[in-house]
């Protein structure tokens, strides 16, 4: 089995592979859908170097093996988190400023939007393929699942619909959205039923 094979590898290799993948999973969470296996492997190995260097340093200082492994894995995780929060953002900004590349590493505009740290949508309207308009009020229903709004990586949306406008112009204000004994009513809109999404945000990237 794959697990048995992994456990037979030298400790340094195990730590480099394990730490590298943990860091990669954090650094690229939510934006990995278009990546190939080769890209995942090489990025994991790049992050794994941090684990390997930390492990060798700790062992050279005479630390116990278990503590050295723990520090090595934590080092990789911290590196992955740092890259996701600051490294990636400022690396692409530097490349853009130097007129080297305008690429930001995101697979598409939707992913780039929903993966923006601290994304704060203040107003949202979903236009469906059958001509309806679904309104969402971000100022209420904060205690609902996903705070009342979830933007899926596949393009689907889960949200509290506060108002629905039909193709003939009729407007229905949803009643009994929040019922104490039952909870909050949410609506799932599959990606193939979404024609357009309008939203406002005061998020600064």
Percent of the chain past pLDDT 70, that is, above it, reads: 96
Mean pLDDT of the 186-190 span: 95
* CA triple 47-52-55, angle to 5 deg: 130
pLDDT in tens, 45-86: 999 999 999 999 999 999 999 999 999 999 999 999 999 989
**Which phi and psi angles does 78 have, rounded to 5°?**
-65, -40
pTM across the whole model = 0.77
Could you write out the DSSP letters of every residue in the chain? -HHHHHHTS-HHHHHHHHHHHHHHHHHTTT--TT--HHHHHHHHHHHHHHHHHHHHHHHHTT--HHHHHHHHHHHHHHHHHHIIIIIHHHHHHHHHHTTS----S-SSHHHHHHTSTT--EEEEEEEETTS-EEEEETTS-TTSGGGGEEE-TTS-EEE---EEE-TTS-EEE----EETTTEE--EEE-GGGEEEEEEEE----
65 vs 5: CA distance, rounded Å = 21
The answer on pLDDT for 119 being more than 90 is no
Mean pLDDT of the 175-202 span: 90
**pLDDT score for 33:** 75
Burial class (CB in 10 A: 0-12, 13-18, 19+), 104: middle
Residue with structure tokens 């090595």? 72
Max intra-chain CA distance, the chain: 76
The answer on pLDDT for 164 being more than 70 is yes
pLDDT in tens, 20-52: 999 999 999 888 877 788 888 999 999 999 999
Q: Edge-to-edge strands of the sheet including 149-151?
A: 149-151, 157-159, 187-189
The answer on pLDDT for 141 being more than 80 is no
**pLDDT score for 75:** 95
**pLDDT score for 105:** 78
Identify whether the C-beta of residue 188 lies closer than 8 Å to the C-beta of residue 158: yes
């Amino acid at each position: 089995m794959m697990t048995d094979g992994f456990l037979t590898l030298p400790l340094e290799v195990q730590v480099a592979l394990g730490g590298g993948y943990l860091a990669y999973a954090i650094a690229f969470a939510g934006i990995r859908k278009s990546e190939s296996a080769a890209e995942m492997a090489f990025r994991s190995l790049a992050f794994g170097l941090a684990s390997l260097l930390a492990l060798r340093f700790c062992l050279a200082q005479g630390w116990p093996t278990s503590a050295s492994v723990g520090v090595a894995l934590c080092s990789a995780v911290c590196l992955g988190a740092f890259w996701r929060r600051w490294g990636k953002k400022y690396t692409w900004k530097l490349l853009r400023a130097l007129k080297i590349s305008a690429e930001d590493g995101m697979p598409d505009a939707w992913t780039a939007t929903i993966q923006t740290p601290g994304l704060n949508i203040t107003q949202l309207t979903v236009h469906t393929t059958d001509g309806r308009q679904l309104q969402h009020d971000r100022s209420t229903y904060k205690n609902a699942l996903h705070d009342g709004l979830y933007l899926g990586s596949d393009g689907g949306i889960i949200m509290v619909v506060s108002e629905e406008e039909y193709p003939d112009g009729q407007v229905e204000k949803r009643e009994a959205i929040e019922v104490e004994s039952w909870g909050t009513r949410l609506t799932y809109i599959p990606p193939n039923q979404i024609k357009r999404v309008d939203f406002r945000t005061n998020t600064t990237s």
